[in-house]
Amino acid sequence: MRKKKNLAPRMEACGMYLIKDPFSMRGRWRELMPAARELRVELGCGKGGFTVGTAEAEPDVLLIAVEKVPDAMVVAMEKARDAGVHNVWFVDGDAALLPDMFAEGEIDRLYINFCDPWPKSNQKKRRLTHGNFLKKYRQVLAEGGAIHFKTDNDKLFEWSLEEIPQFGFRLSEVTRDLHADGAVGVMTDYERKFFSEGKSINRCVATMVDWTEPENDTALSQRISE
C-alpha cells in the first residue's frame, strides 16, 4: 500500500479509537464496554468497511480490529470516527501476537476476512488459517467461540477446510457462493469489489471444540512444520 501523507496527524485526529498499548489490556478488554454482549476481534481489518458496518449493525458488541499496516488502519479509524460508532477500537499490531494481547478465553468471535492467500507452498505458515495460527486462536477464544472466515480465494478456502478441523474446530455454514441469492451480511471493502465483479465468495464458521494436541502425530507435526 502506498505510504499515506500526514499519517501521524491523521492517526492523532482519531486517536480516541486507537489502543496504544494492547499488551496492557490483556484480560481487561471488557472494561472498554462493560455491558457488551460479546467481544469480537477482526484480524486484518484493512480500510475498515466491515469493521464499521458490523459496529453499526451490532452496537451491543465490543469490536477490536487488529491491522498491521497503519496506512490502511488510519482509513478504518477515520471511517469509525465519521460514523460516530462507540463500540470499536483499533490495534496497530500483528495477529501472531494475539495471545500476548488477549487472555485465555477472552474473545467470543474472530473474524478473518479476505486474508492474504500466500499461494506458494513455502509461504503456508503465513496464512491466517494455518495450524500455527489456529493454535494461537485456541488460546484466546472462549469455550464455544468461533472463527468466521470469508475469502474470494478458492484454493485458500479448500486448503483451509482441510486444515481447520485438524486443530479442534467444527466447520459449519460452509458455502462457496455466499451471495448466490443476493447480498448477505456486512461486506468488507475487498468483498464489495469482488461482488461487483461477479466473483463468488467463500465463507465458513469454525467453532472451537475440545481438542488435545496429539503428542506424537507425525503427520500433524509434518503439516505444521511445512
How many residues at the interface with ligand SAM, by CB under 6 A? Answer: 20
The DSSP letter of residue 150 is E
Taking the CA atoms of 95, 139, 55 and 171 in sequence, report the sign of the dihedral they define.
positive
Q: Which stretch binds ligand SAM (CB under 6 A): 7-15, 109-117, 136-144, 198-206?
A: 109-117
Q: Which stretch binds ligand SAM (CB under 6 A): 66-74, 163-171, 197-205, 216-224?
A: 66-74
Residue 115 interacting with ligand SAM (CB under 6 A): yes
Interaxial angle between packed helices 131-140 and 218-225, expressed in degrees from 0 to 180 and rounded to the nearest 10: 100
Taking the least distance from each CB to ligand SAM, the nearer of 97 and 212 is 97
- Of 18, 69, 161, 205, the residue at the interface with ligand SAM (CB under 6 A) is 69
Give the cell for residue 201: 465468495
Q: Return the bridge partners of 88, or none.
A: 63
- From the list 60, 116, 154, 217, the catalytic residue is 116
The DSSP letter of residue 18 is B
- Catalytic residue status for 21: no
Residue 45 interacting with ligand SAM (CB under 6 A): yes
Q: How far is CA 161 from the centre of its chain?
A: 17
Q: Which stretch binds ligand SAM (CB under 6 A): 32-40, 82-90, 183-191, 212-220?
A: 183-191
Binding mask 80-99 toward ligand SAM (x if CB under 6 A, else -) reads --------------xxx---
Least distance from ligand SAM to the Cβ atom of residue 189, Å: 4
Residue 54 interacting with ligand SAM (CB under 6 A): no
Residue 125 interacting with ligand SAM (CB under 6 A): no
Can you tell me the distance from the alpha carbon of 124 to that of 122, in angstroms, rounded to the nearest whole number? Answer: 6
Closest CA to 106 of 136, 129, 76: 136
- Please give the C-alpha separations between residue 101 and each of 168, 216, 218, in angstroms, as whole numbers: 22, 30, 31
Can you tell me the distance from the alpha carbon of 63 to that of 97, in angstroms, rounded to the nearest whole number? Answer: 17
Least distance from ligand SAM to the Cβ atom of residue 133, Å: 8
Q: List the catalytic residues.
A: 116
